[in-house]
Amino acid sequence: MPAETAAAVPRPPARTATAPVLTGAQAVVRSLELLGVTDVFGLPGGAILPVYDPLMDSSELRHILVRHEQGAGHAAEGYASASNKVGVAIATSGPGATNLVTAIADAYMDSVPIVCITGQVFSNLMGTDAFQEADIVGITMPITKHSFLVKDASEIPGAIAAAFEIAGTGRPGPVLVDITKDAQQAEAPFVWPPKIDLPGYRPVTKAHGKQIQAAAQLIAEAKKPVLYVGGGVIRAQASAELRTLAETTGAPVVTTLMARGAFPDSHAQHLGMPGMHGTVPAVLALQEADLLVSLGARFDDRVTGKAALFAPNAQVVHVDIDPAEISKIRTADVPIVGDLKDVLVDLDVAFRSAAQASKPDIAEWWSFLDGLRDEFPLGYTQPSDGLMSPQYVIQRIGELTGPEGVYAAGVGQHQMWAAQFIKYERPNAWLNSGGAGTMGYSVPAAMGAKVAQPDRPVWAIDGDGCFQMTNQELATCAINNIPIKVAIINNSSLGMVRQWQTLFYDGRYSHTDLNTGHDTVRIPDFVKLAEAYGCLAIRVEKEEDVDAAIRTALETNDRPVVIDFVVSADAMVWPMVPQGVSNSYVQYARDHAPAFEQED
């Protein structure tokens, strides 16, 4: 997984001679300023109110007032994922804190570095079921790298500095700092930089040389190698090093859902995305390989299918910053724990040396893979109901926006189509909820990404189901001049669930019709809703109008833009490996060949 420097962790300035006396609340704000934080997302409430008073006076921190704490968490995620910095979310106690839990779990699954600061009731009231009390430290313990409970004002600078250190180093992830109200109100000398004492926290970044040599030798001897690239390459900021190794070895590359953009889609060695909805060449390359070089990937079930049948003839080199991931799903023949950015450089040097003695010949392997690329190009069929093809809409968004854009997707069919039909040429361009699969991620994540990357066009590609979970953050965007573009892929249903009902439940569409786009009564009417939030709103129902709407959105930068693309509910995400079966599905793919062929 990711490198120790995966997220930018600003180093504090040298210690000053005198320590000013500050309230704990002032210490929170000052600590964030000294750590180099410029943007935070939050919502005030009684238990965190002391922090909001000095926050108002800060000239260095931009606080963005969200409409729901989940939005703050996802915005912090989007900010971090687009910028490689640590994102920050602030909430009050009780329901304010628990509203952050979904975003925290999401960040934990996808290794996103965020720090969540929450208020807690007075320490003498803890455990009494006081108003808006919740044991948020206990609640989040399984889904954070660490959770701090601070009851003493003097401990606040150290806790916040340590939270940033933990969130942004090793395998990145979320850290919670819960501060009681009396600690916020009390005074204490503000000592900076604080001494950070993290016993037992020593991320391994330098890989063992013998393991590097063993891995290089396996690559040099392999006849059918594959570089299996996960999101850890992006978190480690190691895309350039990956490309060097790929070109040195000549091996094919597959990039998982979390790794889209880690290796350019346009590169001749790239086979696309593997997994349940991966390209046929990518899926079968992994399945038929004799060597998998796993780089910051975790052998997720959506990639492996039935794990016991995954890549049965392959040896495995597994590189990860997190030793807990090594051999968790698939036993590694050569385990390597270390910083991917450094490991890839060392592996490239070692391979060059090993290849001099054993020059790899993978021409036959490439002949097989190129045959798969020719036989199974990624494509789609036009819907038969007269409505627009969602794949076409998403493809045109990518083509007209270009590789410098940022694309944040919700979860479901539109997520898979965005991963498939937009071409990603650089890291940090593709943001999505991969591990948790959180509906509602897209709009607030795009908001956070736009704050982090104000000069890039940022799209939220959302479904009509996902959009209704967090669309209130459009108000946040409109008020704070965060002009994101939102493409609602409106098939009037919970599309991915409906697809499974079509395939596995005999077309029994139990509670998946949302009534948002295909009837004369639209509930809600997304155009009217977006206009009420201060956005430019457009509805598109014909393919000939798609390009004009996208161009209008790209040209509009004084407010958010929402486009309601009314598309067919019958469109399917293909290819598809059914859950719990083997990825050896050449015959399955042939049986479904029309689903892979691009319409003329």
> Rounded distance, CA 144 to CA 161, Å?
16
Q: Give yes or no for residue 206 having a pLDDT over 80.
A: yes
Tell which residue, 432, 439, 476, 465, has the closest CA to residue 77.
432
Average pLDDT, the chain: 93
CA distance 83 to 191: 29
Judge whether residue 578 has pLDDT over 90.
no
Angle value at C-alpha 436, between 434 and 393, nearest 5 degrees: 45
pLDDT at 115 over 80: yes
Of the listed 1, 388, 469, 496, which one is catalytic?
496
Mean pLDDT of 258-263: 98
**pLDDT of 410-444, one tens digit each?**
999 999 999 999 999 999 999 999 999 999 999 99
Contact call for residues 92 and 132 (beta carbons, < 8 A): yes
Closest CA to 239 of 265, 207, 212: 265
* Average pLDDT, integer, range 190-211: 93
Residue 122, pLDDT > 80, answer yes
Which of the residues 122, 126, 132, 221 is marked catalytic?
132
Nearest to 86 by CA among 29, 36, 48, 136: 36
Q: How confident is the model at residue 1 (pLDDT cuts 50, 70, 90)?
A: very low
> What is the DSSP secondary-structure string of 313-330?
T-EEEEEES-GGGTTSSS
66 forms beta bridges with none
- Rounded to whole angstroms, how far apart are CA atoms 540 and 370? 38
Q: What is the pLDDT of residues 337-366, one digit of tens each?
A: 999 999 999 999 999 999 987 778 999 999
How far is the C-alpha of 320 from the C-alpha of 379, rounded, in Å? 33
Query: What share of residues in the chain are helix, strand, coil (percent, to 5)?
Result: 40, 15, 40
pLDDT given at position 515: 85
Which among 85, 133, 155, 181 is annotated as catalytic?
181
What is the average pLDDT across 47-60?
98
User: What is the average pLDDT across 560-583?
Assistant: 85
Whether the predicted pLDDT of 530 surpasses 50: yes
pLDDT of residue 255: 98
Is 496 assigned a catalytic role? Answer: yes
Give the pLDDT score at 591: 47
Judged on CB neighbours under 10 Å (0-12, 13-18, 19+), 409 is buried
**H or E stretch covering 241:** helix 239-249
Of residues 532 and 504, which shows the higher confidence score?
532
Q: Give yes or no for a cis peptide into 524 (omega within 30° of 0).
A: yes
The pLDDT-based confidence of 574 (bands split at 50, 70, 90) is confident
- Predicted pLDDT at 519: 63
Return phi, psi of residue 475, to 5°. Answer: -65, -45
Q: Is 132 a catalytic residue?
A: yes
**pLDDT for 292 beyond 50:** yes
- pLDDT at res. 586: 45
Q: What pLDDT, on the 0 to 100 scale, is given for residue 84?
A: 97
DSSP 124-169: GGTTTT-TT---HHHHHGGGSSEEEEE-SGGGHHHHHHHHHHHHHS
Choose, from 131, 141, 187, 399, the residue flagged as catalytic: 131
For the chain, percent of residues with pLDDT exceeding 70: 93
CA 586 to CA 588: how far, in whole Å? Answer: 5
pLDDT the model gives residue 399: 98
Banded pLDDT at 12 (limits 50, 70, 90): low
Q: What is the pLDDT of residue 461?
A: 98
Q: Cα separation of 193 and 241, whole Å?
A: 34
Catalytic one of 1, 4, 26, 69? 69
Instruction: Flag the least confident range among 20-34, 152-166, 303-317, 350-364.
Output: 350-364
Catalytic: 310?
Answer: no
Q: Which domains does the chain have, with CATH numbers?
A: 21-189 (3.40.50.970), 209-375 (3.40.50.1220), 390-573 (3.40.50.970)
Distance between CA atoms of residues 184 and 567, nearest Å: 51
What mean pLDDT do residues 507-512 have? 91
User: What is the average pLDDT across 288-302?
Assistant: 96
Whether the predicted pLDDT of 507 surpasses 70: yes
Q: What is the pLDDT of residues 478-499, one digit of tens each?
A: 999 999 999 999 998 887 888 8
- Is residue 582 over pLDDT 80? no
Partners of 63 in the beta sheet?
A: 40
> At residue 8, what is the residue type?
A
Element housing 29 (H / E): helix 24-34
Band the pLDDT of 597: cuts 50, 70, 90.
Answer: very low
- Output the CA torsion 290→296→297→298 (10° steps): 110
Backbone angles phi, psi at 407, to 5 degrees: -125, 115
Tell me: pLDDT of 2 over 60. Answer: no
Distance CA 319, CA 207 (A): 9
Per-residue pLDDT, 359: 72
pLDDT for position 571: 87
pTM of full prediction above 0.75 = yes
Q: Identify which of 40, 139, 103 has the alpha carbon closest to the alpha carbon of residue 469.
A: 103
Q: Which stretch of 14-23, 55-64, 338-347 has the lowest confidence by average pLDDT? A: 14-23
How many angstroms separate the CA atoms of 393 and 539, rounded? 13
Question: Would you place residue 8 in the very low, low, confident or very high pLDDT band (cuts 50, 70, 90)?
Answer: low
Q: Report, as an integer, the average pLDDT of 518-528.
A: 85
Residue closest to 410 by CA, chosen among 464, 466, 457: 466
